[in-house]
Amino acid sequence: MLRYRIVAAACLALLGYGLIFALVGESLSADAIAFLILTDPAMLGFAFAGLLHMTERQQGADLQLMLSGIGMLQRFAYRATLLGLLSVLAATAIALLFLGIRESATFILATASISVTYSALGVALAQVTQRVTTFFASAGLILGPLAATALLAYADTAIGLYWPFAAQLHALRTSLAEPVRSSGVEGILLAISIATAFACLLGAARFAERRPSI
């Protein structure tokens, strides 16, 4: 049931972004557009991956999976992949339908890496929280400073290329340029984005294995 609600919420979010871009899209800068598109896979991954993990944990899925021999990394990777695909579809729809931007391989990979990164963060937080209200209250304490430092780093290109969360925004911004041109910088940004996603996914799995659910 929760999975159907996730798809429904993703569709509602898509309509919300469409309304924003329809009303003020022409007055938005390229940086603002990139940031808005980033928030879709980021929030979709963080909130829904966390809520799925919390729901399954409360239903006793942890014990069942432990007995079946499925590891945390496999479990998290499966969930992150599904949400990543949903995020790519939603972000691509936003770019094509509402902005008239042609998607590229860089755009798809950047969006997927953002979704996986924040899915991992959401799952790690859900591992140590029991209530939805606690989850979202704690999310603000985590995502607020993270977003602030990422935006500050994004403003400084030299720093932004090396600060992982800002690099993901840079990679998405670069992929939205028309036409998309291959460059060394674009390759570096994309590599950092993908590496950040894998690092967060692995870190979340290790965290869940070492820290029991509460």
What's the Cα-to-Cα distance from 188 to each of 11, 178, 192, rounded to whole Å?
32, 19, 6
Q: What's the rounded Cα separation, in Å, for the pair 214 and 104?
A: 42
Give me the helices (H) in the chain, please.
2-24, 30-58, 61-68, 72-93, 105-126, 132-155, 157-160, 164-175, 184-210
Domains held by the chain: number: 1
* Residues 6+ away with beta carbon under 8 Å from 117: 42, 45, 165, 168, 196, 197, 200, 201
Opening angle at CA 196, ends 170 and 17, nearest 5: 50
Question: What residues make up the domain containing 143?
Answer: 2-210
Render each residue's pLDDT in the chain as its tens digit; 214 residues.
656 676 677 778 778 877 887 787 677 777 788 888 888 778 878 888 888 877 777 776 666 656 666 677 777 777 777 777 777 888 887 777 766 666 578 888 888 888 888 888 888 888 888 888 888 888 887 787 777 777 776 676 666 667 788 888 888 888 776 554 555 777 888 888 889 888 988 888 888 777 655 4
Task: Say what the pLDDT of residue 67 is.
Answer: 62
Nearest to 193 by CA among 176, 169, 175, 174: 169
- Judge whether 87 and 114 are in contact, CB under 8 Å: yes
Nearest to 40 by CA among 22, 15, 23: 15
Lookup: tokens for 27 = 């007055």
Main-chain phi, psi angles of 185, to 5 degrees: -65, -45
DSSP secondary structure letter of residue 166: H
